[in-house]
Structure 1
């Protein structure tokens, strides 16, 4: 999961409308990373993006609407999954993408701000959930392929395995202040792989337990 994408300043083709959207979302991401959700202001974002205030208010309407569109853009830019041919290799690739995203000063701060916004704004929460649904869906086939290869038991919940990979990394980001390095990513991937092999993520396993 995670942003896992191209340079957030990248402008995709599509004419003036696309350039305006890119500039505004870049400015919104910068402002979020610098000041957090509570201090976002559409007029300030318009100034940063060198776009008319009327354009920003007409297109996005509210700060929450702008943050939701920022998450849509992040999902669109996110990199596709890596397939290495082994469960552990795939989960390490996933974990290292998340780790690089969260360890990046700008992107890590941006995610903290968006998560904070999601705790108090329903639209921000909905957008954040959609972002992670997209990213989990992208990586889940790696787990199903491991089931097909015989690495994991039939009935393994692929989505839960992918969530388990990134969960420890977000926990460190939000609660401990400890640095996030590749060793932390590899531990998270290894733990998720071991648990999956042991049947922890079998659908209905909690009921049988």
Structure 2
């Protein structure tokens, strides 16, 4: 039941600071997932988060900045880097983790946002490169260890290998809308390792 001082349609107050930001970010992700970027409104986010829309405007000047912050907060958690002792096991773990993340509603919302017209918004354009490049950078140690163990050619480029690993997964998610599952991840690993052993992923 709403209290007498609560505006209709707005949930209980969530306070200020980190608690408020967390509530707004969570509401933004939900709105983005359910409605898409084009239909997302500050009013809708405010109502779902239980805050006044003026609170949102004080902290985020535009909806683009709000969405960028929410996506960054949602996906910026540390990505566990596998260390199975073998490059094939490490790459399979990475590929399967990518599939698991990007096939969630939030993951699909992220992809839909950064490849749509929203990508023209500077704040969103920045997170597109920052989020993906950050994940690739964290995973480079997988390739470095494999080279040191003699499992990959010495000149293998970590970034190129990881992009090759991710490419078929993103192609299905973004371009063809084909099913993406563990089999997709495993095939991506097979192709990537074949290319690496053929010397096609060497640093130039």
Same-fold call, TM cutoff 0.5 = yes
Moved over 6 A (4+): none
**Correspondence for 1:129:** 129
Alignment of 1:55-204 (within 5 A): 55-204=55-204
Q: Tell me which of the two structures has the higher relative contact order, counting C-alpha pairs closer than 8 angstroms and 6 or more residues apart.
A: 1
Shift in Å, 1:76: 2.6
Instruction: Give yes or no for contact 1:67–1:124 (8 Å, CA) kept in 2.
Output: yes
Instruction: Give yes or no for contact 1:95–1:186 (8 Å, CA) kept in 2.
Output: yes
Distance 2:153 2:193 in 1: 12
RMSD: 1.7
1:119 counterpart SS class? helix
**Correspondence for 1:5:** none
Unaligned runs of 5+ in 2: 1-14
Instruction: Give yes or no for contact 1:37–1:113 (8 Å, CA) kept in 2.
Output: yes
Shift in Å, 1:122: 2.6
Query: Under a length normalisation based on structure 2, what TM-score does the superposition of the two structures give?
Result: 0.86
Distance 2:160 2:46 in 1: 40
Query: Under a length normalisation based on structure 1, what TM-score does the superposition of the two structures give?
Result: 0.84
Alignment of 1:16-35 (within 5 A): 16-35=16-35
Q: How many residues align?
A: 190
